[in-house]
Every structure is written in C-alpha cells, then in structure tokens.
Amino acid sequence: MLDLHTHELLARVALMYYEQEMTQAEIADELGLSRIKVHRLLRESRERDIVHITIDWPIRRDTVLEEALQQSFGLAEARVFRTGYEQPMTDLRMLGHLCARFMEDLMGGISRFSICWGRSTYEVVNALRPGLRANIQIVQAVGTIPQSRGDFDSSMLARQLAHKVGGQVLYLTSPLMADSASAAQVIRSQSSIQHTLTMASSADIALVGIGQLDPQTSGFVREGMMTEAELQSAIADGAVGDVAWRIYTSTGDLYPCALNDRIIGITLDELRQIPMTIGVASGASKVPAIAGALRTGAIDVMCTDDRTAHAVLNLA
C-alpha cells in the first residue's frame, strides 16, 4: 500500500511528463531529483496503475472464418483476427485485445460476470481499457491453486477485472481441487462456497479459457493434479481438453474420471445455462481441445486467430 506522500509524488511526476509534456531533465530540475530517479518514478507510476497507457492497435478480423465457425458449431458469435501482418504484439496478446474489445461493448448492459483463470483470460483482462465504470459484480468461478503464479490466480484475476470495470468481487474461498469426490461435496455444501457457485452459474456472461492436455505443458500436470501417466491414459481413452478444469472428449461429452468430481467450480452444465459464455484460445496444440469445447454446447462466443480457426474447421 502506497503512503500518501509517495502516491502524490508519483502522480505529480506522471502529470508533468504525460500531460504537461515536460522532459525528464526538466522534471528533475524542478523537483530537485536526479534524472535516473525521475525515470524510476515514471516506471513505478505505470507499474502501480497510477498511469494507464492504452494503444488502440487496429485488429484485422476475418469475417468469413467467423461465419464459418458460427455455422459449423452453432455459435452466437465468433471473433477471428488475421495473423501474418506486421503487428507489435504476440498472437496471444492480440487475442486478448480482440476479446477485450468485444467484451467492452457488452459491459454496460450486464450485472454479473463470471471468470475462470488461465493465460488467455489473463491477456483479455489485461487488455481491457480502464475507466469502463460498469459497476458489475465479478464472480470467481473456480477455486484457487495455492502455488499458482500470482498473475494467473483466479482470485487475482477476478480482482483485476473488478478494478478495470469498477465492480465488486465475489471470491470463491476454496481450493480448486479437493482430495476426493466426497471431500469436494463437503466443500461445496459450505454456505459461502455454495452461494458463490450459485452466483457464478447465474452470471450474464462467463469468460473461460480452453486447456489442451499435452502432458509436457498441461496445467493438470504442472499443478500436480495428475501425473503424466494418468494424463496419457486419459488422452488414450478419448480426453482432449478442459474448460473450467472440467475434462471432456472430442465429442464434447464430459470425460468420466474422478478428477472431474473433485473440482470446486462452475460445471459445463452450468456454463451452458449462462446466456453468453465466451471462450478464448488459439494455437495449433489447442485445435483438438477447441473443437471438442465447441461441441460441448458450453461456448456461445469463440475468440481465436485465423490459423487456429482454419485448423478447427478442417478437423470438424
């Protein structure tokens, strides 16, 4: 937490540099600081969200592929950006911006938003422009992994989204996975957990990533939820991906495994009941997982890139 003096100094330096268009040398002379100190203060003002810099980079969409995805999978909407042209961002960051621009148009007309954590959903939240002031309740839709990276933690992501839209957070104060199915039932029966899960499933919009099951990169193995051998066995038995940590098959059916019964969070059935569930994912390694996710009926809007969309349509 910043003390008032430091906050005022950061804001003053930022004002002089960004609005009054003074050079760092001029700021240093006026405030009696070194140029290096001014440079550090400007960097800290951005890191602490005192200054927000938004670059509205144009996103080229492929409307033909969007229509093809909608028709093939019965989607309400699809957003596909074109790769292969000069852009200063990685494809994953561009995907975040694509989905963020779509979401910003919806924020004014909803009251509750559920979010599941992951790298792609992090990029979407990070790309949202501040100042929406939509006053939306943000609900953490899956539990927390204690040892996960802070940026991708579900509670952290929900808090960041609430900060961007000016809303309040309803936290799911539970681990992501219980030790057993019976233990998961006990956790879900707790009144606070039950209330949050009910709110998550009654949201107007949900945002989810789509996970692939490569044992070398899968979150299930990385987070110690499954061994590589267990995941390889599930893949051989027909599992292709996960949404909200619920594993499913290539046909979109819930994969029958004990792990699905141990997850504390929103279910595929509950996601199907939400008016708009937005899926965000891209990459060749995720093609089977995306195709399976679109067949679950839990995804209403898909955001991806043109190469991934082509591959998903070819697989379908």
What is the pLDDT confidence band of residue 55, given thresholds at 50, 70 and 90?
low
What is the pLDDT confidence band of residue 149, given thresholds at 50, 70 and 90?
low
| Residue 21 structure tokens | 């268009």
Domain boundary assignment for the chain: 4-47, 63-315
- Hey, what CATH class is 4-47 in? mainly alpha
For residue 271, the model assigns a pLDDT of 98
| Bridge partners (DSSP) listed for residue 247 | 242
Report H helices in 170-242: 181-189, 191-201, 219-222, 228-236
Percent of the chain with pLDDT over 90: 72
**Cα separations in angstroms, 75 against 22, 67, 111, 277, 298:** 50, 9, 23, 10, 10
- Hey, what CATH class is 63-315 in? alpha beta
- DSSP-derived 3-state class of residue 316: coil
**Span of 40-54, 113-127, 146-160, 200-214 with lowest mean pLDDT:** 146-160
DSSP character at residue 106: T
pLDDT exceeds cutoff 90 at 163: no
Task: Give residue 261's region: left, alpha or beta (phi > 0; psi -120 to 50).
Answer: alpha
Q: What is the pTM of this model?
A: 0.83
CA distance 185 to 194: 10
| Bridge partners (DSSP) listed for residue 169 | 138
